[in-house]
Amino acid sequence: MNRIRRIFILFFILFFVLLSGSLASFFFFSKGGNGIVVGGKDTEGHVLGEIMAQLIEESLSLPVRRQYNLEGTLIHFQAIQACQIDLYIEYSGTAALTIFQGRIEGKSRRAHTQNLQKAFLEEFGLVYLPALGFQNTYALMMEERVAKEKGIETLSDFAAKLKEGETFSIAFDAEFYGRAERQALEEGYQIDLRGFPLMDHTLLYLTLKKGGVEVING
C-alpha cells in the first residue's frame, strides 16, 4: 500500500472514531500491513491507547495489536518512523519541544497545531491528527497529608517554604526536567529545582505513594 493511500485511510479512521481537542495522535501502517499497532508511552498513553484500540476494533473490525512496553517520546517517535507502531498519543507541546526543538511557532493554539501538522507531514511523512478534546499541563504533586502538615495549598506556599530553607524530598522525570516549563516555574517563583533525582515517569507516582519522595511532577 503506498504512502498517500495509507495517509488517506488513516485520516478516515481518525474522523470515524475520534473527536477534536488538544492532545493528539499520529500514526502510519506498520510493517506487514495487517491491522494496526497501537503504542502508549506512559500511563495516560496506555489508557488512551486502549480506548482507541477498542474503538478501532469495534467500529472498523480491524485487528489491533497493543505495544505498550515502550517508554518516552523519542523511542515512540523512532518506532513510528520505523513503522513498528502505527498510532500513539502525543502531547503537542512535547512534540514541538522534543521532536522539533522549539522550531514550531504559532500565535494561537490552532495556528501552532496547524504548523505542527505541516511540519510532521513535510519532514517525516507522518500525519499528526486533530486533538482529543482536552488539554494537559504539568503540575507539582504532593500527598494531601504532607501538604496539610507543611501548610501548603498553592505553588506560592511551596516556593515560600523553599525560600525559608525548608527541605523537601523531590524527584522529577527527565522529560519534565529538560522542558521549558520547569525553567518557567523557577523563574516565576524564584526557586531552584535543579539537582534533584530523576526517575521513570511511572515510578514517580509509586515512589510518592510509598512515601519515598514528597514532591513530584505530574
Domain segments of the chain: what residues? 3-128, 140-217
Supply the pLDDT for residue 32: 54
CA distance 113 to 106: 8
190: DSSP letter: T
CATH topology identical between 3-128 and 140-217? yes
140-217 to CATH, choices 3.40.640.10, 3.40.190.120, 3.40.1710.10, 3.40.50.300: 3.40.190.120
Do residues 60 and 89 lie in contact, with contact meaning Cβ atoms separated by under 8 Å?
A: no
What's phi and psi for 127, nearest 5 deg? -95, 115
pTM attached to this predicted model: 0.61
Q: Which of 31, 17, 121, 7 is nearest to 61 (CA)?
A: 17
Q: Residue 188 — very low, low, confident or very high, per pLDDT cuts 50/70/90?
A: very high
- pLDDT, one tens digit per residue, over 36-46 is 899 998 888 89
- Helices 201-209 and 43-60: crossing angle in degrees, nearest 10, is 120
Q: Residue 134 — very low, low, confident or very high, per pLDDT cuts 50/70/90?
A: confident
Q: Which of 12, 23, 20, 96 is nearest to 36 (CA)?
A: 12
- Name the architecture of domain 3-128: 3-Layer(aba) Sandwich (3.40)
What percentage of the chain exceeds 90 in pLDDT?
Answer: 46
